[in-house]
Amino acid sequence: MIRPHGSEQLNPLFVSDESQRTALIEQAKSLPSVIISSADAANAVMLGAGYFNPLAGYMNKADALSVAETMHTVDGLFWPTPVLCLVDDISAIEGHKRIALRDPNVEGHPVLAVMNVDAIETITDDELAQISQQVYGTLDPAHPGIQDFTSQGQFALSGPIEVLNYSYFETDFPNTFKTAGEIRDDIAAAGWQTVVAFQTRNPMHRAHEELCHIAMERLGADGLVVHMLLGQLKPGDIPADVRDAAIRKMADVYFEPNTVMVTGYGFDMLYAGPREAVLHAVFRQNMGATHFIIGRDHAGVSDYYGDFDAQTIFHDQVPKGALDIAIFEADHTAYSTKLNTVVMMREAPEHTKEDFVLLSGTRVREMLGNGEAPPPEFSRPEVAKILIDYYQNLDS
């Protein structure tokens, strides 16, 4: 099986020994504590679940600035985005070397992780702007990732952590949320050698489904892992439970048995385009996938990034050998009325735009909200029904 990023063995930071975890939970009751942001909490979950292997905790300012500028930590580890714990008030923890990090997303704010504090450093406005420009490619305050990043606070807490739970992800999505180690175990149990991963924060329409089939066929893959983001999104995005139901229906009906796993991970979307695409590749290598599909405007939002910037970054900025996972580069896919099948548009040179079934996201939402299923060339009817029910319930 493909090795994890940066180490020979996966090193998740979740305290798996029950007696040790119980003792830490008790100890945490007497520790100084701080309620962290949703993004900080998602970082803790990803550290605990092994997706951020081989990191041992949150980055300090030097590493964050180095990663933003060069995609390497000060010590030379390849990493595409800073992993920070930013807070706006340190009065309760200042001067303490061991603290508890409390979950903002769960009622009562239980302790999510215990940290050994290496440093508490101030990230200046200029440094926030520097990181924003290098990671997100913009300083536009309307960008949802910029809005979130710049609103968390300017005190960076760094140091190793011990993770005590997986926030709301394990309880809200018990059949979908999986750690990187659990997916590795499932891949090994299935006997898969060549494994394709597909990232999504949206329901999968027919073009997405067929793209997965195309990648599996061309790579000779044994299996596909549909790996959906379960964390916080921007307003208007479809909730994770609805996406989960729609994707599972598609997988059950339109894929051969024992060829696809539907899973999810606990992270808040960055909308960082190319940099986030590289981060997504790190996640998938850590969970055991050998190949990762990156298509048009991967992890993008609005028009901040070029259609294929998330592919070209792997050629232009990711050093050769930095990652073991291979990228399957996909074009925009759509149903061809001339060929009566879904194709990658670049592979249909004799076509015009009118030869494809293309619908904007706005038009699809309008149709679903009106109880109208998109054409079957665009969306499978079983999937459309689930989405229609969701949109119509919004109005009730």
Per residue in 12-27, pLDDT (tens digit) is 999 999 999 999 999 9
- What is the SS3 assignment for 342? strand
Q: Could you write out the DSSP letters of every residue in 126-141?
A: HHHHHHHHHHHS---T
For 8, the token pair is: 């020979």
Q: 54: cis peptide before it, omega within 30°? A: yes
Task: State the catalytic residues.
Answer: 201-202
HSE-up of residue 156 (Cα within 13 Å, Cβ side)? 23
Q: Quote the distance between the C-alpha of residue 219 and its chain's center.
A: 23
**Residue 315: its pLDDT value, please?**
96
**Residue 73: its pLDDT value, please?**
98
**Residue 34: its pLDDT value, please?**
98
pLDDT, tens digit (0-9, with 9 covering 90-100), for 219-272: 999 999 999 999 887 777 888 889 999 999 999 999 999 999 999 999 999 999
pLDDT, tens digit (0-9, with 9 covering 90-100), for 47-78: 999 999 999 999 999 999 999 999 999 999 99
For 68, the token pair is: 């933003």
Tell me the average pLDDT across 140-147: 95
Which long-range CB contacts under 8 A does 91-97 form with residues at least 24 apart?
92/32, 92/33, 92/34, 93/32, 93/33, 93/34, 93/117, 93/120, 93/157, 94/120, 96/31, 96/32
Domains identified in the chain and CATH numbers:
18-167 (3.10.400.10), 175-265+273-394 (3.40.50.620)
- What is the SS3 assignment for 26? helix
